[in-house]
């Protein structure tokens, strides 16, 4: 029997949920408050890179300021004596949007339009809150941008709520991507905005572009930007040339198609 992994005599790591290039997420238990939690640990290979650890910590602190029903809460940040870093978060029982889209695709169906519109509406509420949040003391804008809106970062709970996750490390991941080979971001690049791929600073309009791409995929069942390599996908995104023809076949309510088109403008000032 393996030894129990307990952080600061309070949080027990029970099992792995998902592992990625930046960190691993575990299902855990708060031994003090007797409730489930999600525990995110930065990968060991990055522990020696101070800039990445600092970004991980800074972003966790910023995310802890977010208190909104459509954003997963950060409860605590813990650092152990052996310099391991953990973010303690709200545990969400449910599935991510990627799984839902795949579910309908496997049945040769598209997601019900009212469901797609509800999900987008809830994520818009989360982004409006985050984008406009101000520092409690100074009153200055915090300029919080997610930078990584994608189906895998949108959760649907068993109760029917919609939650945006990974605010905590989005900025850190974006910086890491810029310093690594393109292959590192396979599966993520398809939802990035043109300006992000051109190395420019992400803004709230970048989040709008990414959400527009997700909305398109929910309505049509197809990724908007596809290719045989990340480089091909990047060229399609930065070209600004988008085929909206598939939207005409899905009978979207009036205004939805226009909203998607506007969100996906190459010039961010037009979104």
Give residue-wise pLDDT tens across range 79-113. 888 888 999 999 999 999 999 999 999 999 999 99
Residue 109: per-residue pLDDT: 95
> Which residues belong to CATH 1.10.510.10 in the chain?
94-270
Residue 268: per-residue pLDDT: 96
Start-to-end Cα distance in the chain: 55
pLDDT band at 171 (very low <50, low <70, confident <90, very high): low
148 as an active site residue: the answer is yes
Residue 4: per-residue pLDDT: 78
Which residue out of 96, 148, 166, 207 is catalytically annotated?
148
Q: Is it the case that residue 170 has pLDDT exceeding 60? A: no
DSSP symbol at 66: -
Give CA–CA dist 9/78, Å, rounded: 11
Percent of the residues in the chain that have a pLDDT greater than 90, as a whole number: 68
Task: Confirm if 47 and 85 have CB atoms less than 8 A apart.
Answer: yes
pLDDT band at 186 (very low <50, low <70, confident <90, very high): very low
> Which residues belong to CATH 3.30.200.20 in the chain?
5-90
Q: Are strands 5-7 and 85-90 parallel, antiparallel or unpaired?
A: unpaired
Question: Would you state the CATH architecture of domain 94-270?
Answer: Orthogonal Bundle (1.10)
The Cα angle at residue 123 between residues 232 and 246, in degrees rounded to 5: 45
pLDDT band at 172 (very low <50, low <70, confident <90, very high): very low
Sign of the CA dihedral with 25 first, then 50, 185, and 131 last: positive
Question: Looking at residues 213-237, what average pLDDT do you find?
Answer: 95
Task: Confirm if 248 and 240 have CB atoms less than 8 A apart.
Answer: no
Give CA–CA dist 36/29, Å, rounded: 5
Q: What is the pTM of this model?
A: 0.88
pLDDT in tens, 29-88: 999 999 999 999 988 888 888 888 887 887 788 788 899 999 999 999 998 888 889 999
Across 117-131, 181-195, 245-259, least confident range: 181-195
What count of other Cβ atoms lies within 10 Å of the Cβ of residue 164?
Answer: 25
Residue 97: per-residue pLDDT: 98
Give CA–CA dist 244/117, Å, rounded: 18
| Residue 180, token pair as written in the block | 């690594």
pLDDT band at 195 (very low <50, low <70, confident <90, very high): very high
Question: Looking at residues 11-34, what average pLDDT do you find?
Answer: 92
The number of residues making up the chain comes to 271
The residue with tokens 């292959």 is 183
pLDDT in tens, 112-169: 999 999 999 999 999 999 999 998 899 998 888 998 999 999 999 999 999 999 875 5
Question: Looking at residues 185-193, what average pLDDT do you find?
Answer: 74
Q: Check: CATH 3.30.200.20 for 5-90?
A: yes
pLDDT in tens, 196-205: 999 898 999 9
pLDDT band at 173 (very low <50, low <70, confident <90, very high): very low
Q: Is it the case that residue 181 has pLDDT exceeding 90? A: no
State the burial class of residue 267 (Cβ atoms within 10 Å of its Cβ: 0-12, 13-18, 19+).
exposed
Give CA–CA dist 118/123, Å, rounded: 9
**Closest to 127 in 3D by CA, of 150, 106, 144:** 144
Task: Confirm if 164 and 70 have CB atoms less than 8 A apart.
Answer: yes
């Amino acid at each position: 029997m393996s030894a129990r992994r307990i952080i600061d005599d309070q949080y027990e790591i029970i099992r792995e949920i998902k592992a990625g290039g930046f960190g691993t997420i575990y299902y855990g238990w708060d031994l003090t408050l007797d409730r489930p939690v999600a525990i995110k640990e930065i990968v060991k290979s990055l522990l020696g890179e101070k800039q990445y650890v600092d970004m991980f910590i800074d972003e966790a602190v910023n995310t802890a300021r977010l208190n909104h029903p459509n954003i997963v809460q950060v409860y605590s940040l813990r650092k152990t004596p052996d310099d391991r870093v953990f973010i303690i978060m709200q545990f969400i029982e449910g599935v991510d949007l990627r799984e839902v889209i795949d579910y309908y695709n496997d049945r040769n169906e598209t997601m019900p339009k009212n469901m797609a519109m509800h999900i987008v509406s809830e994520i818009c509420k989360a982004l409006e809150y985050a984008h406009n949040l101000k520092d409690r003391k100074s009153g200055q804008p915090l300029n919080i941008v997610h930078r990584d809106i994608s189906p895998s970062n949108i959760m649907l709970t068993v109760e029917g709520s919609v939650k945006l996750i990974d605010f905590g490390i989005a900025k850190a991941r974006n910086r890491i991507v810029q310093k690594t080979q393109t292959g590192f971001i396979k599966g993520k690049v398809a939802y990035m905005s043109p300006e992000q791929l051109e190395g420019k600073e992400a803004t709230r309009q970048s989040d709008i572009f990414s959400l527009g791409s997700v909305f398109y995929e929910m309505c049509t069942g197809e990724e908007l930007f596809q290719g045989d390599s990340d480089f091909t996908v990047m060229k399609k995104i930065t070209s600004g040339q988008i085929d909206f023809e598939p939207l005409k076949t899905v009978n979207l309510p009036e205004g939805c198609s226009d909203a998607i088109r506007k969100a996906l403008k190459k010039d961010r000032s037009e979104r």
